[in-house]
Structure 1
Amino acid sequence: MTAAESDPYGAHRFRVRCDVLPKLGFSEVRGLSVAVESANDDESGSEPRPPDTDGRGRRARKRPGPRRRPRPRPPSPPRRETSSPPLELRRGVTDDRSLWAWFRAWADGETTPQDVRICLLDATGEPVWGWVCRAATPVRWTGPHLVADAAAVATESLELTHEGIHAVTDLDECAD
């Protein structure tokens, strides 16, 4: 393995694609995150044991000495639900009004959820990693923060909820 193969990819080369949007350049993508949720015993349907029993209904003996903290149990397979925060797409404001149009179409009930693909690119512009947010729907459009004495770029952002993030295994899905 060469040093170039083990170097991490830059976070500044990426592509975002969605069927209802033209090819837009985004300056930032936030919310690529997945967490495993573990259900409490109350939610899993199992009966909690009375506090002073050993699990078989017999009264537990109390041992002298310092109390040990119980170790957290990893979630069992049937309890491995995942959740993800909303995805936020941010870009500079231009004459293109696609993000606003998608948001309004969703709010007006005129469109359906869409898959959104985010692809990380290498130095040559080839996709090396990819993620898809399934059934994404726009929930918030945020316009530019306008300040008369600042020379900042006007940006807009679109927040999307979705049914989960999945890794793209076929990088052809990330092809331009």
Structure 2
Amino acid sequence: MSAGDGARPYLNFRFVVEVDSLVAGGFTEVSGLEREVETEAYDEGGVNDHTHTLRSGVTSPNLVLRRGLTDADTLWNWLQRVADGDVERKTVLVFLQDATGEAARGWAFREAYPVRWAGPAFAAESGDVAIETLELTHTGVSTVDGV
């Protein structure tokens, strides 16, 4: 390995999604890996050359998972239980893999549960894979230690 290899960016098509430590299938896309520190402006009396910016909270959007529609119904059943009032919160892990398939970076979404499912759009003239989308709310995202 040359000295410059550590600076190469990771490719975004190598990732794994786990729900409660079980691999949750082959997802084609994951989005919502975001965390934002919210702020509010505060004008201090007598200070006219700037406005103070104060931290007011931390937010993260929903985690969105997309995959080819299959006969596996584990995620659908989880959504159905939530829709029926049995909110089962789980830890969802997303791992970015290096070129050898080893986990290089990881993020944990705590107390996640599904809040939206969208089925595929059908088009007779298209030969695309039928994609389903599952959206999960969570209480926050953090990096996974030891990856």
Q: Runs in 1 of length 4+ with deviation above 4 angstroms? A: none
Partner of 1:142: 118
Identity of aligned residues (%): 40
Deviation of the 1:19 alpha carbon: 2.1
Larger Rg, first or second structure (1 or 2) = 1
Looking at secondary structure, tell me which structure has more helix per residue.
Answer: 1
Deviation of the 1:40 alpha carbon: 4.3
Partner of 1:19: 20
For structure 2, the 5+ residue unaligned runs are: none
CA RMSD of aligned residues (A): 2.2
Q: Secondary structure at the match of 1:103?
A: helix
Matched, 1:127 2:103: yes
Q: How does 1:13-52 map to 2 (within 5 A)?
A: 13-19=14-20, 23-41=24-42, 49=45
Deviation of the 1:81 alpha carbon: 1.6
- Relative to 1, partners in 2 of residues 1:13 and 1:133: Cα closer, same or farther, differing over 3 Å? same
Q: Is the 8 A contact 2:109 2:142 kept in 1?
A: yes
Q: Is the 8 A contact 1:132 1:166 kept in 2?
A: yes
Q: Is the 8 A contact 1:119 1:127 kept in 2?
A: yes
Q: Secondary structure at the match of 1:94?
A: coil
For structure 1, the 5+ residue unaligned runs are: 42-46, 56-67, 172-176
Q: Is the 8 A contact 1:21 1:98 kept in 2?
A: no
* Distance in 1, Cα, partners of 2:113 & 2:6: 36
What's the TM-score, normalizing by structure 2? 0.88
